Chains A and B, each alone.
Chain A
Amino acid sequence: MSEKKQQKVKIWDAVPGYDFIKEIDIAEMPSWFQDGTHSIPPVTPMFGYQWARYCGHGLKFACTELSIPTCKGWEIRILNGGIYCAFHIVRDRKEIAEREGKFRQALRPWIEGFDSLWAGYKQELLSIYTKLLELDVDNATNLQLYYHNYDLMHAYMRMWEIHFMAMYSSFNTWLLLEAMTKERFGISDQDPEFQDMMRGFNNKVYQMDKKLWEFGQLAIEMNLEDTFKENKPQSILGKLQQSEKGKEWFKKFMDYMKTDDVGGWRMRRFTDLNEPYWLEDPATPIGLVKDNIMRGISYDLEATRAEIAKRREAAIAAFLSRVPQEEKDLFEGIIRLSGKASSYSEEHDLYCELFVHALMRRGYLAMGRRLTEQGTIDTPDDIFMMNPDEIDRVMMIPESHDMRWITRRRKAAWKETHKNSNPLVITNRASIEEAIKLDLLPSGDAIAIKIIVGEMPQPKPELKADLWGICGCSGEAEGIARVVIMYEDLKKVQPGDILVCPSTNPTWTPVFGLVRGVITDTGGTLCHAAIIGREYGVPTIVNTQQSTSKIKTGQRVKMDAANGAIYILDK
């Protein structure tokens, strides 16, 4: 009895209000699915709390505003640093019909003018961010920091609202195209024929990649090539300061980081606050410039992109030639809009998560420094062991409070979570399959099905593969496996490796130019790894569930991405 009680206190303590508590949460929603894309490595209490609260809100907001007929939104809880989702499925047919009528109306403006709506929302977000940046966090009063906590949360809330409005409205088209091409022409979204139609779009991710490539070219022109080639990213910074040319290059680089609308407000790690953003630690983007220089001048990003875009138009034309005349307009409309879904999926992170997380890190670290000065917590980043309500309680008079008993215990617990992996599904249904059938699929939720949980791999026994996944980008590859769990370890990846990781996000993008293939544990055909794999033409297999635990760094592996098959050659 007493043991059980202790257990309760412990789990309740990590993210108060959003801790997963089996007795309560399973009674409310029978199945909880791990969001593998965003849960590995385990999230900090601060991040888990904010994510559960506001990402959850954004999903409910979009499902309500768009009146998604079969899903009212998601519930999010945190268990041992892992994010779990359950879906408010609408099961009553009358209610579905009523929601459907409104859904048709709400969807229309997005279908008619996705680009201009998204452009307007981007502007709204950027103006919210500009306002947050007006606060000089280092010289702010305690009261100003107290308010800043709420301003950050408001910004986070709005970001998720916009994020999911655009995401729900664009992904539906992708799903429609997938369903129609499969049904009518036998082409799945894992087929190259399909994926070629969705590649080579010009968006912010590409523009920034190109800019970094240009800075590499500039460094070469300015005779700084060796500084980049011979040093590690961290020491390149110091070396640059030793020459006039170096200083000049660095100033230009930092001007871009500060003046571009996104620039250096970009987190290195996608789903947490505990790693620096580019402006805070320019070694990260400088490392990317270095990678570009190492690849040599023959690597021409622009030409690669143009080639993929050309191939895309050819693929679309070839596909449309198979479509009956009276349906050409319809299919072309769906293909164009699906392309936007793919492009939005890639670009939105820069304006949504990566940017606002950088601002949250900036603000909360400043609060952390203030609390550390007063002995409330041990170190500034212990702030990530607290939640906003606790910050509210101590921010005005930090000298009177001691939160170390909380932050120390949570930090220890959080570190502990790195040692264990969380279950994929927590359910009181008879099996995982039944949980998926009853509590996930009826939601009709494109985001849950295509990104978070993903489709289950369909093994083909005759191929005798060791692991199975979903094809993100077709192609065959063979190479040395490099298992990367944390972003810090990404620098160990060697050219020609096959990257094996839990999932990827936009900060990982440049590594796709380096590797022969990518294998992830989680995700679906619209996850980051799949989209970027297609953009870079790198064979990619996603949602393998267990690659990071079954494959060891150094093993030779072979990928047959079109079939989702992975072979471990050195056993």
Chain B
Amino acid sequence: MSSDKLIFWFEELGQEHNNLVGKKCANLGEMTRMGLPVPPGFAISIAVYRKFAEETGGAEEASRYVSSLGELKGQNVAIFDELSQNIRGVIEGKEVPEDIKRLVGSYYEEMGNKTGIPDVAVSVRSSGTESRPGMFETYLNVVGIEDLIDKIKKVWGSAYTSRAIAFRVNKDIPVIGDELGVAVSKMVKARSAGIAFTVNPVTGDTSKIIIDANWGIGEGVVSGAENVDRFVVDKEAFTILDTYIGKKAKQVITEKRGAYWDDVPLEKQSIPCMSNDEIVAVAKLAILLEERLGEPQDMEWAIDPESIPPNNVFLLQTRPAKVAAKKPESVTDRMIDLITKRFYSP
């Protein structure tokens, strides 16, 4: 691959491009290559950020500023907020060089052609070389080149959220760090979305898939703030072992632009937000991922109301699942499991 290429279609990427485009983009590339149902899109390499930061002088400015502050470890947390505000101000205050704008614009236009939607709505996500869940910003339902450029800049700046700065300081990683690639994907304006774990993150039980789901797009689940639906699916039999229907009062929806919290209509609050077929489809997708990637996964998925089942389930992203503690299952659990599977599974 030519070293001066700055932006890549997902299908041009794989795991080996981690350092070039960041983990998320490399993963999306890998997924696309495997033929998994990933929304189409392109990756803005980390080099593009470096080019921006150098050409605009933003990098130097930020560096100077941080050096002036001296030792940060052990300081009051208020310092991180201040630091964040200032550095993000520096980055977001710079004008993106014309050649970068044009380059991004050409890919965006091409994406419009490919999808048949001019000014196609996209999601704009950070893609660092290290996995740092929840540290950086994501922008949803971004429409038009102006908005896209603005949001790319904001994602770059989000390397300096107070939580990311605090994390680096506490881990003895330089404050100036986490240069980010950016993943630009076609926005799935989901009817329902959520996450799926191929391992129980609490007990370490690997025999079941846990799906959390809500109406609207995945942010209504990922934020962890709302009461959502939970489905537990047996990995071998694909039977739904457990169903918990949460009272889903709020959802995140997308309209013309952006995404925001909204009330769930009363009649939809206490009914499952997905069909049993969809639950099984998500579970099968999760297992496929686990098998292909060779370890338990924590994935985000969405159901696109504009696609036709069974091809309406999209994979938004996946990462190795973090398990709190691997506790062996109790004898009781194993007995229940054996009895249920042996005698009552047709």
Contacts and interface: CB of A to CB of B under 8 A. Distances in A.
Interface residues of A, number: 33
Contacts of A94: 240, 276
Interface in B127-181: none
A104 B336 contact: yes
Contacts of B337: 104
A275 B90 CA distance: 97
A333 B346 contact: no
Contacts of A172: 339, 343
B336 A108 contact: yes
Interface stretch (A4-12, A173-181, A399-407, A548-556): A173-181
Interface string B330-343: 01101111111011
B339 A176 contact: yes
Contacts, number: 77
A17 interface: no
Contacts of B346: 70, 91, 93, 96, 442
Interface in B203-248: 232, 239-243
B241 A96 contact: no
B345 interface: yes
A172 B341 CA distance: 12
Contact of A101 (B232, B338, B345): B232
B345 A69 contact: yes
A481 to B, nearest CB: 37
Interface residues of B, number: 21
A329 interface: yes
Contacts of A397: none
A564 B345 CA distance: 31
Contact of A97 (B241, B335, B343): B241
Contacts of A333: 331-332, 335
B159 to A, nearest CB: 43
Nearest to B275: A94
A101 B344 contact: no
B332 A101 contact: no
Chain B interface, >50% SS class:
helix
A198 to B, nearest CB: 17
A111 interface: yes
Contacts of B343: 70, 172, 175-176, 444, 446
Contact of A96 (B232, B239, B242, B342): B239
A69 B339 CA distance: 11
A100 B345 contact: yes
A361 B220 CA distance: 64
Q: What secondary structure prevails in chain A residues at the interface with B? A: helix
Contact of A68 (B239, B276, B344, B345): B344
A337 interface: yes
Contacts of B345: 69, 96, 100
A245 B190 CA distance: 90
B211 to A, nearest CB: 13
B335 A337 contact: yes
B240 A98 contact: yes
A337 B337 CA distance: 15
Interface string A56-92: 0000000000001110000000000000000000010
Contacts of B334: 330
A446 B242 CA distance: 23
Contacts of A319: none
A355 B240 CA distance: 42
A374 to B, nearest CB: 53
A173 B239 contact: no
B344 A444 contact: yes
A173 B339 contact: yes
Given A101-B232, A101-B243, A96 B344 contact: yes
A93 B335 contact: no
A116 to B, nearest CB: 15
Contacts of B332: 108, 111-112, 333
Interface in A294-344: 329-330, 333-334, 337
A128 interface: no
Contacts of B232: 101
B219 to A, nearest CB: 28
A101 B240 contact: yes
Contacts of A104: 241-242, 336-337, 340
B91 to A, nearest CB: 49
A203 to B, nearest CB: 22
A250 interface: no
A100 B344 CA distance: 7
A187 interface: no
Candidate in B336, B338, B339, B344 with the most chain A CB atoms within 10 angstroms: B344
A69 B340 contact: yes
B335 A100 contact: no
Contacts of A180: 338
Contacts of A93: 239, 346
Interface in A384-411: none
The winner among B239, B276, B339 for most chain A CB atoms within 10 A is: B339
A179 B342 CA distance: 9
Max chain B Cβ within 10 angstroms of own Cβ: one of A96, A97, A99: A97
Interface in A106-142: 107-108, 111-112
A256 interface: no
A107 B241 CA distance: 14
A96 B240 CA distance: 9
A103 interface: yes
Contacts of B239: 93, 96-97, 100
Contacts of B241: 97, 100-101, 104
Nearest to A91: B346
B243 A329 contact: no
A325 to B, nearest CB: 13
A100 to B, nearest CB: 6
Nearest to A327: B334
A516 B343 CA distance: 36
A100 B340 contact: yes
Contacts of A112: 332
Given A94-B276, A97-B241, A176 B342 contact: yes
A233 B3 CA distance: 106
Nearest to B344: A69
Interface centre among A108, A172, A444 (most CB of B within 10 A): A172
Interface in B297-346: 331-332, 334-340, 342-346
A333 B334 CA distance: 10
Interface in A469-526: none
B271 to A, nearest CB: 14
A326 to B, nearest CB: 9
Contacts of B339: 107, 172-173, 175-176
A94 B241 CA distance: 10
B336 A97 contact: no
A187 B337 CA distance: 22
Contacts of B342: 175-176, 179
Nearest to B339: A172
Q: Please give me the 9 A-B residue pairs with the lowest Cβ-Cβ distance, nearest first.
A: A69-B344, A101-B242, A97-B239, A333-B331, A97-B240, A172-B339, A101-B241, A444-B343, A111-B332
5 contacts: A100-B241, A104-B337, A107-B339, A175-B339, A337-B335
Interface of A: 68-70, 91, 93-94, 96-101, 103-105, 107-108, 111-112, 172-173, 175-176, 179-180, 329-330, 333-334, 337, 442, 444, 446
Given A97-B276, A333-B332, 16 more contacts: A68-B344, A70-B343, A96-B239, A96-B344, A100-B241, A104-B241, A104-B340, A111-B336, A112-B332, A175-B339, A176-B339, A176-B343, A333-B331, A334-B335, A337-B335, A444-B344
